[in-house]
Structure formats: C-alpha cells, structure tokens
Amino acid sequence: MRGAGRETGGRRVRCPLASPLAAAAMALLHTRRLLAAPRLAAAAAAAARASSWWSHVEMGPPDPILGVTEAFKRDTNSKKMNLGVGAYRDDNGKPYVLNCVRKAEAMMASKKMDKEYLPIGGLADFTRASAELALGENSEAFKSGRYVTVQGISGTGSLRIGANFLQRFFKASCDVYLPKPSWGNHTPIFRDAGLQLQAYRYYDPKTCSLDFSGAMDDISKIPEKSIILLHACAHNPTGVDPRQEQWKELAAVVKKRNLLVYFDMAYQGFASGDINRDAWAVRYFIEQGINIILAQSYAKNMGLYGERAGAFTVICSDAEEAKRVESQLKILIRPMYSNPPLNGARIASIILNTPDLRKEWLVEVKGMADRIISMRTQLVSNLKKEGSSHNWQHITDQIGMFCFTGLKPEQVERLIKEFSIYMTKDGRISVAGVTSGNVGYLAHAIHQVTK
C-alpha cells in the first residue's frame, strides 16, 4: 500500500508520511468520540428514564416558605430578617421552649415512663383535656359526653382525619367552602381527601381588613348542607378575625343555611393571650345548637412544633352517636398511621392536667401573645417616626402570628434585594420574627419601599 512502507532485506521500512497521517487519523477519531460522548450519555439517560417506572413523574414546585428560608440562609447581610417562618421567636430572635414544657419533660423523665404504643384514638388524658380546653369545662356538650375527641398529628394531621371522615360519611355534599384567602395547606388537605374546594369572600385587600358584607353575602348563598371552614381565631394568613357581634351574625346565617361548620383552631391562647376569648366563637356556635367539628394544634400555644400534638373533635347529637362516630374514626386512623406519637401528647396532657403547670402555661402563652402584640404596636410607631403618611392601623387591628401588611409584590422584592428582609410575595409577615432590636430597621425599610 502506498505510503505504508516496503520490505527491504527482511526489514520493514516506513514511509516518512505514515506517522503524521496515522497521528492525524487517531486525533480525528478521538475528537469524534469526545463529541459523541455527551450525545451517547444523553441517549443512555433517556433510555434509562424510559425504562423506569417513574419516568412520567415531573419535578414539583418548591414550597414558597421553604424558598424564602433558603434565600435567607444564603444572604450574608448581618441585618437580614426572615419573616416567612410560622414559628415563635423570643425577643432575641431565638426559638423558645416554655418553662412548663421543660418541667413536664423532667416529670416524665423522673417517672421513667415506657414507650409503648398509644391506643388508636390517642392518649385518653390528652384527648379529654383537649376537649375541655376547646369547649370549656362548663360546656353542656362536654359534660353530657356528646362529643368524641381523637388525638391527631398536630393541626395538619387532625384536619386530615376530619377531611377523610367527611369524605366517607358526610353524604349531603362534597363541597368545602374556604375563606379567601386561607392557610395554604387547607386546599391540598381537603382536595387530597377527595373533597371539592369552593370559596367565600373574607379579606378585603383595599382596607386590609375583613370583608364582612362580602362574607355574609357569599355564605348566605352557599347551598344548604355544604361544609364551611372557619378559622376560630388568628386567621392565617391575614390575622383578620370577626368581632364577637360579627361572629353572632355568621352563626345565624350558618344555622339558617344548615351548613356543617369545620373550625380550625391552631392558636388558642396564642392570639389574644386568653384561652377563653380565643375559643369564644367555637363555644358560641355550639351554644346556638350548631354541632361543629374541630381541629386543634399545640404547635404554637405550647411551642410543641416538632412534637406534632393535636386533636380532632366531633360534636354529636348524643353520647351514643359519639360512640359510633368514634368507632369509625378509629377505623379511618388505623391504616393511616396506626396510632399517634406519644411524647407531645404526654407533655401537653401533664401541663393541662397539673394545676401548677397549667397556671404557668397560661402566663407563658400570654407572654408570647403580648410580645407579638407589642411588636405590632412598635412597628406602627416606628413607621410614623420614619415619616410614613400611610395608614398602618390594620397592623395593630390584626391579631396572631401573621400580618398581611398590604405590601405589593414589587415592594416585597425591593425589601428582599435592598434590605435583606425576607417574606412571601403576598406581603404576609410573621410578626414573631420581629424583635425590639430589628423593628426599627424593618420600619425604615418598609417606609423606603412605600413612600
């Protein structure tokens, strides 16, 4: 072959052109392999996906609150603030464990208690104390035993027990009416239980307050025997609650329309600092002959966030009906998680059933509520000092952990980019993230983006 060399006296003599040509050919082949590698890898990955059981599963959207927290963590600004997280912080911005909780834990440790399974319906001392806390010790429904309370996995789990119970046994309707807006998790809780979501007017963004006439108008048109969800106190996310006179009107229209009321009470004691005032609506509706269902949580008012302590209650027509309902709730719970967690229920039960600890808890929960109320007042005061001409009264009119500031998405974006103050795009802030040390900075930043 030309250029490949020739035989000479038993030796092969290579043509001078052979080596460069061979080297070039090898280099070209290597280049082609390198260029082909990504395509081959992509093809292999596509083939692997095609052969997977889960190739059709799409990436889900990130949780909006988690996104706020992640961005906050990456920020290096020493003045940064995270106003997105729904958990109480002390005036130093630190997580807070109540003294009564520490004492209850010490009592548990000293008794060297076992770790056996709880019954399906939960710890009996806890469920009874939860019902008494919500309904009141003098409640006719409580004293007559025409209720059933089961332990749930905090507020979310308790709400889901109720949603599943409604889906299986409430035959009149599968429509659940939520206030606009409502807690973000309400929608998936009821939707994933197989119920249909509807809405009624509640919040007026123009006034940052309750759209009472709109709510009354919408509720009066809800089809009879539908389900309506009401926030018992400290409405999440707006912090806007009806006044007692307005609750009375709401109860009247609910009774007239024969609606099933599902109360979500996640903040009893934490809203106003008074457990009886915060449960007023729940108790009033029952007194009016409205047999409600109720979800409770001890995350906020006892700081038992990670312990997942909650309860679900059904008010029945009599004690015999309550027994039947209880039997079916247990049948629902058994395949969901068999039985609830032990530790948080023990802590809450000891606090509620030990007079000295209960008294201490009432002082501590009022202290948490008062700090949040104080931060609202200080924020408005500092905004006035900054020279803001806007009316910020809605900040002090609202109640509970959250505040709908009325800030627009573009203003929120500026707060994040220019001041490292993080919150959700709808302008909701967790007032628990505001302290005496940063309230002035927050007021200054809000004034800068709103003036």
- Closest by Cα among 301, 283, 348, 282 to 122: 348
Distance CA 303, CA 288 (A): 32
**What is the distance in angstroms between the CA of the first residue and the CA of the last residue of the chain?**
87
Distance CA 132, CA 379 (A): 36
Active-site annotation holder among 218, 300, 361, 392: 300
Q: Is the dihedral of CA 289, 290, 296, 301 positive or negative?
A: negative
Tokens at 269, concatenated: 């004691």
Distance CA 65, CA 326 (A): 35
Active-site annotation holder among 183, 247, 361, 392: 183
Active-site annotation holder among 211, 218, 264, 278: 264
Decide: 135 and 142 in contact? Cβ < 8 Å. yes
Residue 300: active-site member:
yes
Residue 264: active-site member:
yes
- 354: helix, strand or coil: coil
Beta bridge partners of 312: 150, 295
Element (DSSP H or E) covering residue 310: strand 309-315
Tokens at 199, concatenated: 């809405």
Distance CA 255, CA 177 (A): 15
Decide: 333 and 161 in contact? Cβ < 8 Å. yes
Tokens at 361, concatenated: 């808890």
Residue 323: active-site member:
no
Q: What residues are labeled active site? A: 183, 264, 300
